[in-house]
Amino acid sequence: MQWSSAQAVMAHLAAHSVRHLIDGELVGSESVDGIVNPSTGEVCANSPKASFEQFNEAVSAAVRAQKAWAATTVEDRRERLSAFADVLSEHAEELGALITLEQGRPFALGMGEIQRAATLLNAVIAIDLEDETLRGKGPEKVYVKYRPLGVVGAIAPWNVPIGLAVPKITHALYTGNAVVLKPSPYTPLATLRLGELAQHVFPPGVLNIVGGGNEIGEAMSTHPDIAKISFTGSIPTGRRVMAASAPHLKRLTLELGGNDAAIVRHDADVERIVPQLFAAAFVNSGQVCMAIKRLYVHESLHDRLASLLAEHAAKVVVGDGFDPKTQLGPVQNKAQFESVKAVLREVHAHPDARVLVGGHAREGAGYYIEPTIVAGLAEGTSLVDQETFGPVLPILSFTSDDEAVQRANASNFGLGASVWSEDIRSAEAIARRLVAGSVWINRHVGVDPLVPFGGAKSSGIGHQFGLAGLRDFMQPAAIYVPT
């Protein structure tokens, strides 16, 4: 089958509807959600909406399966997960097309999301899970054994549906836990299809995927048999997850919003870095937590860089993700579309704002926002202080490194940051002062599967990736052995 158009994918879904994966079985629901194609603003498919009974069945299945899964060897789990990565790669075209239909990003990037997920999976399961020896000499040997927690409830977002769901599955299953995963109700199609593809990869109950809305997420946060929640989403929702989980003292990994600052020093090569800055700010139409959201540029470079960025943005093709010419797709859902438009209205009303390019929603069907570059604003405005999560970037001027660091850190966000400079030693000195979970030099966006990723301040709790990320899905136990 060719996955080259929305019509082809919709026809396929009409003939092969997606279902939940519960205890190794594919099941539907009496209730369904209409899934909207953001490129048209129209319903493109139906997705099953799990009842509370189905959700509870998924949790019970995970509880039953988890002990036997935990008793398998690390190598056994690694082999199963490697097979899961193969399934991802083999079905990258189909899953990528589903992402383009429901999320809006260009088809090539949708396939890239699947392939990247498979690559990260294989890298994570190559990490050794060994006991940690703290003291090997003297009258007593001390080591730490890491045990699985039990059942992990995973809640994935709509901006990168598979790319952010697969690491949750990988971390939980590799460390011996079972999983109940809930995709976003805006983008459940590719994730539910992934459950169907994984049906025979894992023993029944080890991986369960159920569709549904906020009510299922709330039930997950309060269920006594779920030991840990892994959530990616907004800060307000993360706080609600944390509060709901508190009575059972659930372990948490919360990867929340970002309002990442990038600092361009006086010695940066402006012409060279403009394409990189644009890509890091407008990736997925700005709908990436770790994208650049605030661009601080030294006053000596500000006007030149702003002009070049605006020229670059003006050439970018915005459109339907199935059109091979498209470089940026729509905002994913109507609520977010309206939120971005509200920010733009505030920008247009501000006396100091200078819209260098874009600044408007596109007329007609779909949730399209023009790539927008704004100069003249400062802290105290929504575009600078909050996470817009759309294709709108403010450029701010600074006079000294100390000023740039102070302003970048003056935020309750702390997911990522970057420094752009020809002087690597000076850039590193600045990077060490930035309060963020990840700080890049001369690049921005991207995770290394061997390096812990998480947020500082309100941008999150806990980590994924690296040994530290895996251990966040396990319970340490110190063992004292007389020698």
The catalytic site residues sit at 255, 289
Pairwise CA distance, residues 187 & 157, whole Å = 8
φ, ψ (nearest 5 deg) of residue 318: -105, 130
C-beta separation of 430 from 419 below 8 A? yes
Tokens at residue 390, please? Answer: 């759309």
456 φψ region: left (φ > 0), alpha (ψ -120 to 50), beta (else): beta
Place of tokens 């970037």: 393
* Contacts of residue 234, Cβ cutoff 8 Å, sequence gap at least 6: 256, 257
Q: 411: burial class by Cβ within 10 Å (0-12, 13-18, 19+)?
A: buried
Q: Cite the DSSP H helix spans in 410-446.
A: 424-431
Please count the other Cβ atoms lying within 10 Å of the Cβ belonging to residue 251. Answer: 20
Place of tokens 């941008």: 459
As a three-state string, the secondary structure of 326-348 is CCECCCCCHHHHHHHHHHHHHHH
Contacts with 45 (C-beta within 8 Å, 6 or more apart), sequence order:
10, 13, 14, 17, 18, 34, 35, 101, 102, 189
Distance separating alpha carbons of residues 393 and 480, to the nearest angstrom: 54
What strands lie across the sheet with 251-255, from one edge to the other? Answer: 25-27, 20-22, 207-209, 178-182, 151-155, 228-232, 251-255, 460-461
Q: Which residues contact 156 (CB under 8 A, 6 or more apart)?
A: 164, 165, 168, 181, 182, 183, 184, 191, 232
| Cβ atoms of residues 1 and 12 within 8 Å | yes
Look at phi and psi of residue 148 and say left if phi exceeds 0, alpha if psi is from -120 to 50, else beta: beta
